[in-house]
Structure 1
Amino acid sequence: MDRVDERRIFTVTDLKQYTYCPRIVYYTYCLPLIRPTTYKMDAGVRAHEKAGKREERRTLSAYGLEEGQRHFDVWLKSSILGLTGKVDMVIEAGEGDGRELIPVEYKQSRRRIGTHIRHQLTAYGMMLQETWGGRVRRGFVYSLLKRRAEEVRLTERMQEQVRDLVTEMHGMVERERMSPPPRSPRQCVNCEFRRFCNDVL
């Protein structure tokens, strides 16, 4: 994939939201003045701040590692993907040819890991590989409610999907054409944009 035109750089959160519901990205970029802020968003920010402080005191056993260096709130930017974002934590383990970079995201949820979260982790892994070098083959989602980490394999297939999704986002925003709603109306129940979609719920 060649370097993208930098006229628009999406965030990794945009990518995650697009996988969950493309309309969120449409509203964000095509109707930017209407985006509301919800209690859920604010609560998530506070929970992430507390999680980082606790993480500093923990061992790496939750990730199946005996040792490694932790980097918190790491900003990444990829000129190839055309994405920017802040990953909650990066674990740097091993040295030389065995050096491994592992992106970790904290989630305030007990639910199983959805495809949108897998795409988010995969994007961070691709960005780490581009900007930091080293091997990136897996990531983790740490549930703040279950206090447990779950491994996510960052496969070639997922990487290809990330590239395709970024291309789709550019196309949607440039055409200013809103996508159909999600297949499941359950995804719309707590959405901050629900009142703007007149064809669901």
Structure 2
Amino acid sequence: MPPGGSEPSAEVRLPRRHRANSPRRARVAARTPARPRQRLDLLPPLLPPRLPVLARTRPGLRPGAPRRRREAAHPVTAALPETSDEQTWLPVTRVLEHAFCPRYTYYEEVLRIPQRQEIRYKVLEGRKVHARRERTNRGYKRKRLGVIEKLEDVALSSETLRLYGRIDEALRLADGTAAPLDYKFSPMPDKPRDYVVHQATAYALLLEETWGLPVRAAYVYYLREPRGHHRIETTPRRRASTRKLIRAMRSVREQACLPEPTRHRSRCRDCSFRTICPQ
């Protein structure tokens, strides 16, 4: 019995952490039933983790391979090649890259190493500039080049060259010929670079085979320059040079051999593979 006193009334014994609290809190704690333990076997099952992109790719189709696309309503627009033949087809962009440096073909087609992401950023930025230029300068090319029909983002393919790709614009001209038009986000040089000439010639060969119209020239517009463009004649000599380059591309992929680098060593500064290339 405590000093002074009377018999203590029966009270609930609280855990040690509650004994110094107020009487009101003690009464509330006494009336609150204890929470039942949560059984782990009654919890909902966890969702499976998201699969990586490569795991969701269809069997037999590597990333970057030509996919089957819906054919456009226009009769002169070609569909891209079927996926069953993807081992023998090459994109037109490989022509530009191989002309820039033959080792691009080895790293991308043999080792399957992707380029840096900033390359994609430049492409998207170039399309934005292209859209703004079209809104502010609509009709300029049509008047200057004698265009009677223009199609944008046209799918092209060549069974002869086993190449496929998409051209920014395909033009039908008043003289009965056709012409591919490609947009570049890079600054305009005094004369077209050799790798740009090869790519433009390859587009001309694809467009000629797809449309069945003669192609005498290809056009390259530089979006950073107001009305700046190059007209690239598709001469027999240039056609033969581009065909030879395409055969060299296939040789690198089939033999899986590392080719000699470009003679222009200044291009190594802008190369996507400069950190792994032995040069």
- Superposed, which structure 2 residues align to 1:55-66 within 5 Å? 55=134, 58-61=138-141, 64-66=144-146
Name the SS for the 1:46 alignment partner. helix
Structure 1 unaligned residues grouped into runs of 5+: none
Name the SS for the 1:195 alignment partner. coil
Q: Is the 8 A contact 2:158 2:164 kept in 1?
A: yes
Deviates more, 1:64-73 or 1:133-142: 64-73
Partners in 1 of 2:87 and 2:141 — Cα distance? 42
- Superposed, which structure 2 residues align to 1:189-200 within 5 Å? 189-199=269-279
Structure 2 unaligned residues grouped into runs of 5+: 1-84
> What is aligned with 1:104?
181
The one of 187, 201, 207 equivalent to 1:128 is 207
Q: Is the 8 A contact 2:201 2:234 kept in 1?
A: yes
1:67 Cα offset (Å) = 4.1
1:178 aligns with 2:258: yes
Larger C-alpha radius of gyration, 1 or 2? 2
- Superposed, which structure 2 residues align to 1:34-49 within 5 Å? 34-49=113-128
Name the SS for the 1:196 alignment partner. coil
Partners in 1 of 2:233 and 2:131 — Cα distance? 23
1:54 Cα offset (Å) = 3.4
> What is aligned with 2:107?
27
**Which structure shows the bigger proportion of residues in helix conformation?**
1
Q: Is the 8 A contact 1:90 1:103 kept in 2?
A: yes
Partners in 1 of 2:199 and 2:147 — Cα distance? 25
Partners in 2 of 1:6 and 1:125 — Cα distance? 22
TM-score after normalising by structure 2: 0.64
TM-score after normalising by structure 1: 0.87
| Change over 3 Å in CA distance of 1:157–1:11 after alignment to 2 | same
> What is aligned with 1:142?
221
The Cα offsets for residues 48-70 of structure 1, whole Å up to 9 and x where unpaired, read as 24414633651134872344221
1:8 Cα offset (Å) = 1.3
The one of 147, 167, 177 equivalent to 2:247 is 167
Count of aligned residue pairs for this structure pair: 191
Q: Is the 8 A contact 2:109 2:253 kept in 1?
A: yes
Higher RCO, 1 vs 2 (CA within 8 Å, ≥6 residues apart): 1
Report runs of 4+ in structure 1 exceeding 6 Å deviation. none
1:135 Cα offset (Å) = 1.8
Partners in 1 of 2:107 and 2:124 — Cα distance? 22
The Cα offsets for residues 35-85 of structure 1, whole Å up to 9 and x where unpaired, read as 232324312223124414633651134872344221111110100011101
**RMSD (Å) for aligned C-alpha atoms:** 2.0
The one of 221, 231, 256 equivalent to 1:151 is 231
> What is aligned with 2:65?
none
Q: Is the 8 A contact 2:180 2:218 kept in 1?
A: yes
